[in-house]
Structures are given as structure tokens and as C-alpha cells.
Structure 1
Amino acid sequence: MPATSDPAGIAAVEGLVRGLLFLGGFLLLALAERWRPRRGRHHRLDRRRRWTTNLGLAVIDTLVLRLVLPAAAVGAALGFEAQGLGAFPMLGLPGWLAAVVGFLALDLAIWAQHVAMHRVPLLWRLHRIHHLDTALDTTTALRFHPAEILLSAGWKILVILVLGIPATAVLAFEAALSLAALFNHADLDLGQADRPLSSVIATPDWHRIHHSTVPAETDSNYAFLLTLWDRLSGLARTAPAGGHDAMNIGLQDDPAGRASLPGLLILPLRKHDPGSSNRFA
């Protein structure tokens, strides 16, 4: 891609393409959930309220991200690439090697960010919104506070700048991450295929454990894409203690569990919030 290309314009086209890919993946997985549900009976309760909240957050997140960071990760990568910034160009890495290492580095960076969101009290105030969902399906992949979305975008841009990750690798990673998030939050029964697949990527059964109300299980299986990082760090669990059918989803005894969309948006700003501080008591 020529260096004279407009990063913001290219990012806008990339955003449209990725948005269409995301929408297609969402619709396909939503239909698959109806066809082969893993815990279907748990999702029929309160579905309208959950979907309204989760889809509402997705709309707000998209608007905020486009307003604050219109170029986003791919646009930033194009700009940095045109100027030859970052470690990979300085080291003279071949394009294919920079792309592969860059893809893996971005996945590791998002995994590390996810761990930090759970372990740093201020960050947990934001990420808690995601875990307050009382069931798990494709819409849960959309349930993030806008401030967390901005932090994540800024973190990715910083990693891209420091390493000089090629725009092609960033584009591939952004598309893979979007689809992986939808996939591993889906209420989808993969049968016997789930276990071998989870040795490489985060499957629905793998990620569901992370959404357990049991704190020790919540503090495991952080991967969105490659499960390698969970296994290397000793944070992997292959099954919940009570089994997938019996496990509870969400945050145990959290008073904000049924908060409205406006309530969730202001929740991180509340000074006296027992649900937020309970995790670090």
C-alpha cells in the first residue's frame, strides 16, 4: 500500500469491511446458538433486557471509538509504517516475519491487558460491566464499557508503534479478534470438537469458565484468541468444578447485576460501590 495513502480514509474502509464481517459472524453464530445451544434454557430468561443492554453498549462503543480514534489500529499502523517507525523496521525484519511476530505480539498484548483488567482495581471498575452479564451468548461479546474500548484501542496502537507491526498483520488480527470474541462467547455446543480446538484457540467452553461466578474460575482462561498464553502462565482450566450445565454465570452477589444501560455507563464513576470493591476485599 503506498505511503501516500490517507490512514484515516483507509481505516474508515477497513472499519466498514470489518463491521460487515462482524455483523455476518454475529448473525451466523446467533443462528447457530438456536440450532445447537449449549445452555439454552439459561438464556431464555431475561433475554430481551440483556440483548437491549448489550446491543446498546455496542452502538455507543462504536460511536465513541469513531469519534475519539477515527483512524483506529489499522490507520495508525499505516501511518507508522509510512514513517518506518518501530522495532521491526529498525531491525530489518522481513515483511512476512514481522507480520507473524506482530500478530502473535498483538494477541499476547490483548491477553495481558485482559489480565490487568481483572487485577488492577481501577481497570476492574470498567471491565466488571462485561462480567455482570448473567448469561453468555454472542451479545456478551459486545458488552464493554466505552472507556474500556478506548483503553484497548490505545494500548494496541502503542504496541503497534513500539514494534512497528505491519498494517496487514494488524488488519488480520483485528478481524480474527472480532470473530473470535463472538465465537468464544457464543452459547454453542461444539460437542467433542470443543476440547481439541481449545488446545489452540479459545472455544465457547474454554471462555465460559472465565465467566463463572466462582472467583478462582473467573481468574483463569483469559484468552480471546490463542490459549497458548493461558497455558504458559498457568492460568488455564479445562473445566468448571460444577460442570458446564450447572455453573452460574456473572458476578456472585453483585448488587449491580440488573443495572440498566445508563446505570452501567455511570457505574465505574460511583465512589461507593460495594460490588466493585468486593473482588479486592
Structure 2
Amino acid sequence: MSEATIRLVIFAGVFIAMAAFELLAPRRAQRFGRVRRWPTNLGIVLIDSLVLRVVFPMAAVGTALWAAERGYGLLPALGISPWVAGILSFVALDFVIWLEHLVFHKVPLLWRIHRMHHGDPDIDVTTALRFHPVEIVLSMLVKAGIVVALGAPALAVLVFEAVLNGAAMFNHANCRLPLWLDGVLRLVIVTPDMHRVHHSVQRRETDSNYGFNLAIWDRMFGTYVAQPALGHEGMDIGLAEERGDAPTGLAWCLTVPFRKSARREAAPAADLPPVNKS
């Protein structure tokens, strides 16, 4: 099968599984629900896919094959075996995606683009697909640059892309895991309860838990928050400055980076109990 076919099969399988899990064991009651939000979120992923194919037809795996044909990259130059190079590339790419996510929050111009993702007033499996086309293109450029610089094996890049996509749908899913299982899993990977904190309207919680796949980076760099201060049922999802239904519309999503920048203000510390960082 081609790269595109492999990724589509994995995407469809994980999406269906997570959507079913949400129906069987939902974590939170939703404000707007699927009928209102899903056409927009699924429309966005379709637009993203079309834009990416036009602007960056090689994608990350194609870039890896192109670099390999020319002998580019640090790992081949050091004579590292393909298996070790694959593992190193996977970990390096995951760290770069974590760092890129953090930068999109810290740089005002990039935050204007990333706000679309956080604008979803509910969080479920489709929120994982809700990224502005400009952010998708920028992210692909970053990944392609790292792939060429490392000389990452094409198979490792394919595995990383598939795992990252599946992990994002898993940790955005509105599903309830047993607490013991969540505690074990989040030692290694990002769980839904762990990532949901990141979608809180509270600035100090939004600026935490940036990981999409491996859970190590937030602990390593001090951005890990275990639980939301108001609990998963009590926390507000989305943007503090956008509490209506406008962010559920496709037009809002596509034009939000070009609107006047809204201030990102945290609630006064007295409004909330201390954040649990343990």
C-alpha cells in the first residue's frame, strides 16, 4: 500500500474506535455536541489535506526518501544503523512537535493561528483534526527540515506520522479511562485526562501539557499539570474570550488568525484553588 493509503486506514480505524469509545464512556457532557461541531471540524481536516497536497506534495515521508537518495542527514553521516536511526528520529521528531506546540503558544503571531484549535468549545476526537491550514503547512515545513537534517529513515517517519495522528485523536477523545489505567499510561504517553487540561480556558492550565504523544517532555521541562483545578467535569473548555457558538462555525475557524488579537488573560489566582502539578 502507498503511504497515503496506510495513513488513511490507520486514521479511519483510530477515529472510529475513539468515536465509539466516546459514546460508550464519555468523560464530560458537551456544550454543543457533535451535530453542531463535527461538520466544521471534519471540513477543516479536508481543507487541510487539500492545502497540504498542493503546497507540500512530498509530505514528510517523501522528504525522507528524497533526502536518503542524496545521502543527506546527520545520522547517515555518523554511520548509525537504520534501526537505531529510526528510534532516534522518532524521539527527536516527537520532541520537535512538543517544542513547536509550545512556541505556537508563546509567540503572539503564531498564537493567532493556533487559537483556532483552542477555540473548539468542546473537546473530542475531532478536536485533534482542528488546525488552521497555515499551521498545518508551517508544521510540515518544520518536520521536513528536521527529517532532512537528521536523515531520518522513511519508515521511521511513516511510523511517527501515523502514531502522532492516532495519539492526537486518542488524547483529545472525550472518553473516560479508569484512573489506575490513566495513571499508568501517562507515565509514557499523553492520555485524554492529561491533555484535556491543556484545553482549559485558564491561562495557567492552557500553558501546560503540550505533548501529543510521549509524556516525558512536559515533566522534563516543568510544564506538566496533573489535573485541572476545577476537575474535568467542572473545567471550562475553549477560549475565555469566546464563550458563544461562533467558534463552531467554519468561517470563524478560517478567519480567526486575521481578526484583532484577543488578549489571553488568566483568571485572578484567587478565583481558583492551587493547580495540582504532582
TM-score normalised by the chain length of structure 1: 0.90
SS of residue in 2 equivalent to 1:240: coil
Q: What is the distance in 1 between the residues matched to 2:210 and 2:264?
A: 20
Question: Does the 8 A contact of 2:30 with 2:122 survive in 1?
Answer: yes
Distance 1:269 1:98, change over 3 A: same
Question: Does the 8 A contact of 1:132 with 1:256 survive in 2?
Answer: no
Could you tell me which of 234, 244, 255 is aligned with 2:222? 234
Q: What is the one-letter code of the residue matched to 2:148?
A: L
Partner of 1:75 in structure 2?
62
**Which runs of structure 2 are paired with 1:77-156 in the superposition (5 Å)?**
77-156=64-143
- RMSD of Structure 2 on Structure 1 (CA): 1.6
Query: Which deviations, in whole Å up to 9, do the C-alpha atoms of 1:137-158 show, x marking residues without a partner?
Result: 0010111100000011110000
Could you tell me which of 189, 195, 206 is aligned with 1:218? 206
Q: How far is 1:255 from its partner?
A: 6.7
1:166 equivalent in alignment to 2:146: no
Question: Does the 8 A contact of 1:210 with 1:221 survive in 2?
Answer: yes
Partner of 2:24 in structure 1?
35
Q: What is the distance in 2 between the residues matched to 1:214 and 1:168?
A: 39
Query: Which deviations, in whole Å up to 9, do the C-alpha atoms of 1:7-62 show, x marking residues without a partner?
Result: xxx9xx201210121011101110111011111x225x343221111111011001
Distance 1:157 1:148, change over 3 A: same
Q: How far is 1:279 from its partner?
A: 5.2
Q: What is the distance in 2 between the residues matched to 1:257 and 1:238?
A: 29
Q: What is the distance in 2 between the residues matched to 1:176 and 1:69?
A: 20
Question: Does the 8 A contact of 1:85 with 1:161 survive in 2?
Answer: yes
Report % sequence identity.
48
Q: What is the one-letter code of the residue matched to 1:78?
A: L
Q: How far is 1:269 from its partner?
A: 1.8
Question: Does the 8 A contact of 1:132 with 1:257 survive in 2?
Answer: no
Question: Does the 8 A contact of 2:128 with 2:172 survive in 1?
Answer: yes
Partner of 2:13 in structure 1?
24
Long gaps (5+) in structure 2: 267-278
Q: What is the one-letter code of the residue matched to 1:202?
A: V
Query: Which deviations, in whole Å up to 9, do the C-alpha atoms of 1:106-152 show, x marking residues without a partner?
Result: 00000000000100011101110000011110010111100000011
Q: What is the distance in 2 between the residues matched to 1:178 and 1:145?
A: 16
Partner of 1:6 in structure 2?
none
Question: Does the 8 A contact of 1:22 with 1:179 survive in 2?
Answer: yes
SS of residue in 2 equivalent to 1:249: coil
Question: Does the 8 A contact of 1:133 with 1:257 survive in 2?
Answer: no
Long gaps (5+) in structure 1: 1-9
Q: Paired residues, what number?
A: 264
Question: Does the 8 A contact of 1:137 with 1:185 survive in 2?
Answer: yes
Question: Does the 8 A contact of 1:222 with 1:230 survive in 2?
Answer: yes
SS of residue in 2 equivalent to 1:42: coil
